Structure 1
Amino acid sequence: MRIATFNINGIRAARRRGFEQWLRERDPDVVALQEVRARAAAIPPGVFGGYHLAYDEGVHAGRNGVAILTRHAPDAIRTWSGTALVRGPGEVHTDTAELDPVPLARGLREFAAHGRYVEVDLADAPITVASLYLPKGGLPAHLQKPGRMREAPDGGARYERKMRFLDGFARQLTRSRRDAGARGRDLLLMGDLNIAHTRHDVRNWRRSNQVEGYLPKEREWFGSILSPRTLVDVVRSRNPDTDGPYSWWSWLGQSFANDVGWRIDYHLATPGLARAAVSAGTDREPAADKRMSDHAPVVVDYEL
């Protein structure tokens, strides 16, 4: 079973850059998408081919939005908002479906309507698949230096917001993993986590210790959700002690050409499923002008 995660940075832009061709040629069985960035009515007709779609667009127009594409209609769909756009192949309706409510861990309520999380129970495999778009965050107040930041200083507000999300999501993730296990399913969490875990996940790691996404507390949190008995970083398990494979590069300068990237897009799987991975990596485009997004798809083949 081929499973992919891809932050597409806008479905309309990704389509212009070749998303449909990638989907046809790679032919994944399941795809988790982040930053779809489109209202239901604005999703280009036919862009998802013959896949079933479960999509939480969120309340912020032009931002966020997470989806999962599957070959077969999923057995169940869950979002934090309690609603989702559910479409079969060829359907174009824009009506959202009311879903069974998901009890949220403490601290996540403020993020519930932001279009950051959707999960489905696959119909053709005993797996619960989740797509997550974790907030990018910012710098803590003591690291903010006016004139040396691309964004205006905010006193650490974006950093604190991300920390609140991480705190609540750790509890929610434990609940999701246990609930999946109780249903006889593995859990596969995929998406853009906006954190590079180790120095092998950032090309310029020495310079990045004071950069959001590689801050010590972020990396410590990432390590706390992984263990051989809970969740395994599948791509790293298949590529130990090597730099990358990176999944994000800045649009600026020669970052892509020089492979100055970050690995921030992940497959995190319960141990049984992680052991079934037979290949894992990123679909890095051959040249900068061929890129579909500032991220690359992360694709894993599982022998189930």
Structure 2
Amino acid sequence: METLRLGTHNVNGIRAALRRGAARFWDATDADAVALQEVRCRVADLPEDAFGDHHVTLEAGQLAGRNGVAVLTRVPPTRVRTLSGTVHRAAPDGPMAEESVERIVNRDLAPFAHEGRYLEVDLADAPVRVASLYLPKGAAWPHEEGSRDKYERKMRFMRGFARLLTASRREAAALGREFVVVGDFNVAHTRQDLRNWRSNQKSEGFLPEERDWFGSIVGPRRLVDVVRHLEPESDGPYSWWSWRGQAFANDSGWRIDYHLASPRLARAAIRHHTAREASYEERMSDHCPVVVDYDLTALA
């Protein structure tokens, strides 16, 4: 493989997204690997051929109708790690089977272990470790009454996740692999990353402490925001819009779906596509896919 095409998409319910054309989109995109978030479906209720010609590794979690992350690949990954130590895997057109995999030990992330929020795989056909993330939404405490528990829960996840990112990136490097975490971070890092930043400075996802945390996990020696690296001056491109009102029509969105890559892999990124649908009626989810092509020959 000379180029790795990697996509991420919070589908906000796999069954609804498939009805709205997600399978057609990914077939046409011809991605080598796709990370999904908010699959929100019990394994037994997954539609037939939900994942097309890809092998699927799914961490559905145990909260019915909530969360769930997956990574779709051309060939089965060589290594899988989750917070729970279990996944469901299937070949194209094959049955889902539950498997025990390596469990990630992290004190702050332990309360989230069965929520289906994080999954990482080592690709068999590229020297890359890919992780799919669905970070808790949180809340705007103290600006929102009664929201402290949700706020503190998100802060705990972020605290533990920062340590996990460092450990996974370093371990991947020791094994000769690059590292990239993709998915829904539920944080807009800078003013460029949401349309109405002035009115959202006390909103969850744009709180100063959330933005500071995001700034602490990125940097030239840690992880690089690939889309911002390729498009440093632009506002957006946004990846989430509310279903309500005229947010989509007015492009009043947030950029909260990211590719954060190890520096060497980020330098190998050659193009990106934030696939905002042409109209409200064509939307597959409240998030749109974010796809990046990585030139693997640059890693040789």
Per the normalisation by structure 1, the TM-score is 0.95
Give, in whole Å, the separation in 2 of the partners of 1:267 and 1:101. Answer: 23
1:275 Cα shift? 0.5
Listed one character per residue, the Cα deviations across residues 100-155 of structure 1 (whole Å, up to 9, x for unaligned) are 232x2231110111100000000011000000000000011x312xxxxxxxx424
1:47 Cα shift? 1.8
Query: For 1:210, which of 202, 206, 215 is the aligned residue?
Result: 202
Residue in 1 aligned with 2:35?
32
RMSD: 0.8
Structure 1 residues not aligned, in runs of 5+: 145-152
| Number of residues of Structure 1 aligned to a counterpart in Structure 2 | 293
1:200 paired to 2:192: yes
1:179 Cα shift? 1.0
1:237 paired to 2:229: yes
Give, in whole Å, the separation in 2 of the partners of 1:57 and 1:96. Answer: 11
Give, in whole Å, the separation in 2 of the partners of 1:177 and 1:114. Answer: 23
Give, in whole Å, the separation in 1 of the partners of 2:120 and 2:108. Answer: 19
Give, in whole Å, the separation in 2 of the partners of 1:78 and 1:163. Answer: 23
1:137 paired to 2:138: yes
SS in 1 for 2:16: helix
1:7 paired to 2:2: no
Identity %: 57
1:75 paired to 2:78: yes
Residue in 2 aligned with 1:59?
62
Listed one character per residue, the Cα deviations across residues 234-272 of structure 1 (whole Å, up to 9, x for unaligned) are 000001021000000000011001100000000000011
For the 8 Å contact 1:245–1:282, the answer to whether it is kept is: yes
Give, in whole Å, the separation in 1 of the partners of 2:268 and 2:291. Answer: 14
Query: For 1:296, which of 280, 288, 293 is the aligned residue?
Result: 288
Give, in whole Å, the separation in 2 of the partners of 1:164 and 1:98. Answer: 26
Listed one character per residue, the Cα deviations across residues 187-213 of structure 1 (whole Å, up to 9, x for unaligned) are 000000000000000100111100000
Query: For 1:264, which of 249, 252, 256 is the aligned residue?
Result: 256
**Amino acid paired to 1:143:** H
For the 8 Å contact 1:17–1:292, the answer to whether it is kept is: yes
SS in 1 for 2:103: coil
For the 8 Å contact 1:45–1:92, the answer to whether it is kept is: no
Residue in 2 aligned with 1:147?
none
Residue in 2 aligned with 1:86?
89
Residue in 1 aligned with 2:109?
108
SS in 2 for 1:4: strand
Query: For 2:267, which of 269, 275, 280 is the aligned residue?
Result: 275
Give, in whole Å, the separation in 2 of the partners of 1:38 and 1:183. Answer: 34
